[in-house]
Amino acid sequence: MSKSKKMVYFFGNGKAEGTAKMKEMLGGKGANLAEMTNLGVPVPGGFTITTETCAAYDKAGGKWPVGLKKQVEDNLKKLEKAMKASFGDHDSPLLVSVRSGAAVSMPGMMDTVLNLGLNDKVVDGIIAKTGNARFAYDSYRRFIDMFGDVVMGCDHEHFEHAIGGLKKQRGVKDDTDLTADDLKELVKLYKAVYKKHVGKTFPQDPIKQMELSINAVFGSWNSSRAVKYRELNNITGLKGTAVNVQAMVFGNMGDDCGTGVCFTRNPSTGEKEYYGEFLMNAQGEDVVAGIRTPVPMIELNKVNTKIYKQLTGLMDKLEKHYKDMQDIEFTIQQNKLYILQTRSGKRTAEAAMRCAVEMVGEKLIDKKVAVSRIEPAQIDQLLHPHLDSKAKRQVIATGLPASPGAAVGQVVFNAEDAEAWKARGKDVLLVRIETSPEDIGGMDAAKGILTQRGGMTSHAAVVARGMGRCCVAGASDIEISYAKKQMKAGARIIKEGDWITLDGTRGEVLLGQLPLVEPKMSGNFAKLMSWADEIRKLGVRTNADTPEDAIRARAFGAEGIGLCRTEHMFFEGDRIWAVRQMILSADVYADLRDKIVKLEEQGDLEADQKKELAGLKKEFKVPQAEFEGALKKLLPYQRKDFVGIFTAMAGLPVTIRLLDPPLHEFLPQDAKSQKEMARRLKVKPAEVQAKVEDLHEFNPMLGHRGCRLSVTYPEIARMQARAIMEAAIIVAKKRKKVLPEIMIPLVGAVSELVFVKKHIIDEIEKVFKEKKTKVAYMVGTMIEVPRAALTADEIATEAEFFSFGTNDLTQMGMGFSRDDAGKFLGEYTELGIYEKDPFQSLDQMGIGRLVDLGIQLGREINPKLKVGICGEHGGDPSSIEFCHEVGMNYVSCSPFRVPIARLAAAQAVLAEQK
């Protein structure tokens, strides 16, 4: 980085060098501080060090780029002039905060230092100037604590232990009960804690304090919690964090001072109201960290009407300017209001929907902006259950309704246990006295979060709302013991592993496991989704194997079924025994059948050949009866399944995939179950065991499955084709439109498709002849073998549609075993080898090229070829954008992801228009 490179941008006295458009360089916080300054909002002056500088610092191994020190010193002089105060001065001291601020908001994930510039000399000067010794020592002890913890790695708990001991000694409960002399003594105790754990005396040079604090904020960009947050929220491509150095204003100088956080609309519901919390005689971290339970913002009107009116006026001004709900931090210092920051407020999905829809009604934004403003993944919040209103509720504690929804789980008391229990398949609720950024992994693992302390804008509340987790905060009537791994609610003890239920909408903690109710789309959700439907070009189907799934998906807006997995039906009830009977007889059946066909195809046979043929046919009767008898048992089951699905999806296309998995998946693998199978099917256990061993494959995902089964056993494909068409005819006779699409899986060569398709069509023609009626249908294939994508032009001569099975295409194209790659793919994404897990989000550079090529080759033969995707990627927003770009007709995903896909498809169009 050259000496002339500008690394520091100033704001103050109504003018700023930056603007809101400079988020990439100044971070969201710095850009908004500059913007507010230019708008005439009362913002304490300061300067911002750019995100590029953070990247340069990191690249240089923790060293400042050439020229940064001078630029910081020059801007510090500007700030001193603007604030009419001097850094480290006894008579007129300037104190500053040092805060992080990335281009994308990451609340609480990076470091902040307040009250910087305090030392023994400055504290004496503040006392002389203000006559408020308590304020001076309170600020100083806070600074030593925060600097020691954030900058020098001396854990906050050590300082908490010191203040706890002093309060006990003085016989007081709250920090505010400590006198000025008590706080003076506490400063000495804190200095001793610092020296013991850091190994040095607390630094008295303010410039040194600032340099170390800037380094700490730079370093926090790559802290484990910040990296985890970016990983969980798919935040990529950022250079680093900006550093904001800003003049301090104080909310803890007395009763005419205060601090708070407010939102221009309710972040939980989206209601247009002045929403927030504040504390008088407090500093900002008291509100957001949950150290003290704050007061609702409306009460400020009673405490100081003038400040309340000024604040609400600024809230209106900022929302109108930014055209979005704002999250604002403010401080009142001696009856003067200061705005410390504004940003687009984190909100629940319900609130996001309501804000977007109502802002369109207010003509603040248009429909396209409204649609683009909702995060597709956020919709999950609206699709999760809530508590059944008829359930008997035994409330054991109440708190604040910090994040709506409901969750049922077993109690755990730390983040590590939450992650470990989830990994074992358990549903957990994370219970903490108060959460901190280090808890981010456990909060993500938990179904819901309960805290003893904290308000509606505490860390737990903000993060839970962003994640879509149910949260009850500030449940002060519970007592938590980490040592005993239990909490006390009244006279009741809840231990680790006990079941409770959280109602985040009411702020209630309930005993036991309460039933949950499935959500429904309506109101603002339905209106915004209708706008998305007007914009999007991609169709959205669902992956559904049952009528129940189909009905649910249709209610969520699915326009058909893109993948109906027929094998899932084989496991239901007694039909598994027919499947197993078929498998036991399959090899002998196929072997004898092929020998008979071969002889019959020879035409005129010699006497010995006729005798051989007769013997084969006789021998064939038993396995034929067993194999074809099993298929006859399965036929009515399959037909009934398809009748249900066609009825649920009447008028919409239904793509049915023929049997795909290898046959060994239908057989029991343990000895006890194998004996039971032998007993049920009246064969010897050794015969079952032999069949299991015979079907064993070293890599079954690349083995005898998909269309390969249909090549060996075309009778299975025929049975399924017959079931599909008989069901279609039954439903069509009820005057319901049926659009069946038969999909042949795992095709790698057009000759495979030709072989299986011939059997399918032949069987369908027989059904039409028998029933004396016809139903229109299509036969297509899944493109999931790389060779199929590379020879898609050949395959398109036979297939009427393509559906990309990107789960298997990813597996085969990248050489990853889906079952085993999970052990190391997390490390791959952490190291940046792959940006995302390719099984969750499509690898567009590699597998995406196969998909794009397959579509191009297929449409060279058939320009109207219908193309979709039915892997897990069909519900992933970034993969959906890719599907739009390459010209697919539709995506197909699980029912609960249908609304996400609808929104993501619309946003893909809007992204293209930019």
Residues taking part in catalysis: 459, 870
Q: Which of 673, 655, 658, 676 lies closest to 715, judged by CA?
A: 658
Instruction: Name the phi and psi angles at 476, rounded to 5.
Output: -70, -15
Judge whether 459 and 434 are in contact, CB under 8 Å. Answer: yes
Which DSSP letter does residue 440 get? H
Provide DSSP, 474-486.
--TTEEEETTTTE
Pairing of strands 275-280, 242-247: unpaired
Judge whether 547 and 647 are in contact, CB under 8 Å. Answer: yes
Pairing of strands 326-333, 448-451: unpaired
Q: Which of 477, 500, 342 lies closest to 410, judged by CA?
A: 500
- The whole-angstrom separation of Cα 53 and Cα 90 is 32
- The whole-angstrom separation of Cα 357 and Cα 527 is 8
Provide the residue type at 897 as one letter. Answer: R
Which DSSP letter does residue 402 get? E
Residue 131: CB atoms within 10 A of its CB come to 9
Provide the residue type at 610 as one letter. Answer: K
Q: Which of 97, 31, 110 lies closest to 343, judged by CA?
A: 31
Give the 3-state secondary structure of residue 749: coil
Enter the tokens of residue 861: 């033969």
- The whole-angstrom separation of Cα 161 and Cα 48 is 35
Q: Which of 467, 763, 506 lies closest to 638, judged by CA?
A: 763
Q: Which of 795, 891, 785, 894 lies closest to 847, judged by CA?
A: 785
Residue located via tokens 């009411």: 506
Residue 152: CB atoms within 10 A of its CB come to 16
Distance of CA 703 to the CA centre of its chain: 34
- The whole-angstrom separation of Cα 449 and Cα 462 is 12
- The whole-angstrom separation of Cα 583 and Cα 593 is 15
Residue located via tokens 């709506």: 404
- The whole-angstrom separation of Cα 891 and Cα 561 is 10
